[in-house]
């Protein structure tokens, strides 16, 4: 790139190009961003297909030095652009994403996803599961930050949907799913969670208002590899209104920051920030999503 220029279609501070022949194999802190411009199973407010573009654009509002975290953004990461998502076909889109993420993992690059609807998380986690000796997620803890449980087996008859994503993740046999910020679910989902209390832990938004420290202590004690999935609707609509399904009484940006700081020294295998549904420059939802990715990467510095 020519000095004095920037590329708004790439996340701020990303490296220019990957030399696939010379990727250090002993470095476990290389990251690759992939956008998934897909929103075909959305049930309410459409537009998350524009999320990757608008979140990248918003990433240019931050500085190289992260004042809050007292860190410089010198983590090595690449922005590979957007998946060729297949409109109307969630399964094919997830299969394609699985192939792409497998490629990244085989090149020792850990994936970061910008959604797009939450259903795409299945593609990235299937690739991570395939890369495990056990061929599943039995060693991995899923930190799932969301207003919704998304753990119903099928939604309107569809197995692959933004509303069923955590059931599809559950099918991959994770060690544990920790659901944070929950304030919307069906009775069937509550019963499923109760039935599988050995594998699913809940921190509802209401409980977190009383004690956030309890959550941080719980996360601090994690010893296993982690995958972090953030649906932006975990945030209160005051901070993130441009979403598929906003729900009032949510978390604050500071809450998310505290979670990321708490997990900064853990073995994170992958990370996604989903559901930003805006096509407007300067959108607050996109700025908060970009900040989450910026903070995550700054903390890996």
Binding stretches for Mn ion (CB under 5 A): 146-148, 231, 233
Nearer to Mn ion, 231 or 295 (CB): 231
Read off φ and ψ for residue 225, nearest 5 degrees: -60, 150
The C-alpha angle with vertex 279 and arms to 273 and 282, in degrees rounded to 5, equals 80
Half-sphere exposure of 75 (CA within 13 A, CB side): 27
Measured CA to CA, the distance from residue 193 to residue 199 in angstroms comes to 8
Nearer to Mn ion, 148 or 168 (CB): 148
Measured CA to CA, the distance from residue 168 to residue 3 in angstroms comes to 45
Nearer to Mn ion, 147 or 169 (CB): 147
Smallest gap from Cβ 80 to Mn ion, in A, equals: 25
Smallest gap from Cβ 144 to Mn ion, in A, equals: 10
SS3 185: coil
Q: β-pairing, 110-115 with 30-36?
A: parallel
Nearer to Mn ion, 148 or 300 (CB): 148
Nearer to Mn ion, 71 or 162 (CB): 162
Smallest gap from Cβ 232 to Mn ion, in A, equals: 8
Structure tokens at 266: 């853990």
Smallest gap from Cβ 19 to Mn ion, in A, equals: 38
Smallest gap from Cβ 275 to Mn ion, in A, equals: 6
Spell out the residues 6+ positions from residue 221 whose beta carbon is closer than 8 angstroms to its own: none
Smallest gap from Cβ 63 to Mn ion, in A, equals: 30
Smallest gap from Cβ 108 to Mn ion, in A, equals: 31
Nearer to Mn ion, 245 or 298 (CB): 245
Smallest gap from Cβ 165 to Mn ion, in A, equals: 9
Nearer to Mn ion, 147 or 251 (CB): 147
Helices and strands in the chain: count of H runs, count of E runs: 9, 10
Q: What is the DSSP string of 244-293?
A: SS--SS-B-HHHHHHHHHHTTTS-EEEEEEE-B---STT-HHHHHHHHHH
Q: Helix H segments across 146-200?
A: 165-171, 187-195
In which order are the strands placed within the sheet that holds 30-36? 76-82, 30-36, 110-115, 268-274, 226-231, 141-145, 176-182, 200-204
Nearer to Mn ion, 75 or 245 (CB): 245
């Amino acid at each position: 790139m020519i000095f004095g220029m920037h590329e708004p279609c790439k996340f701020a501070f990303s490296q220019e190009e990957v030399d696939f022949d010379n990727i250090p194999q002993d470095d476990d802190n290389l990251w690759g961003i992939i956008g998934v411009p897909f929103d075909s199973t959305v049930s309410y407010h459409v537009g998350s297909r524009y999320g990757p573009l608008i979140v990248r654009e918003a990433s240019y509002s931050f500085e190289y030095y992260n004042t809050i975290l007292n860190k410089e953004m010198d983590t090595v990461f690449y922005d590979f652009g957007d998946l060729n998502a297949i409109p109307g076909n969630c399964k094919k889109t997830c299969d394609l994403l699985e192939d792409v993420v497998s490629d990244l993992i085989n090149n020792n690059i850990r994936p970061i996803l910008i959604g797009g609807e939450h259903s795409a998380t299945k593609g990235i986690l299937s690739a991570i599961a395939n890369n495990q000796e056990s061929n599943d997620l039995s060693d991995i803890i899923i930190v799932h930050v969301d207003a919704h449980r998304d753990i119903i087996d099928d939604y309107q008859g569809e197995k692959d949907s933004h509303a069923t994503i955590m059931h599809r993740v559950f099918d991959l046999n994770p060690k544990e799913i920790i659901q944070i910020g929950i304030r919307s679910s069906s009775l069937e989902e509550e019963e499923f969670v109760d039935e599988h209390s050995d594998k699913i832990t809940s921190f509802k938004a209401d409980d977190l208002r009383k004690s956030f420290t309890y959550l941080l202590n719980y996360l601090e004690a994690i010893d296993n590899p982690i995958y972090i999935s953030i649906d932006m609707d975990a945030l209160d609509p005051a901070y993130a209104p441009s979403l598929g399904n906003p729900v009032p009484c949510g978390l604050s940006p500071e809450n998310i920051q505290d979670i990321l700081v708490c997990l900064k020294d853990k073995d994170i295998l992958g990370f996604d920030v989903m559901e930003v549904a805006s096509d407007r420059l300067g959108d607050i939802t996109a700025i908060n999503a970009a900040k989450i990715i910026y903070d995550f990467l700054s903390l890996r510095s």
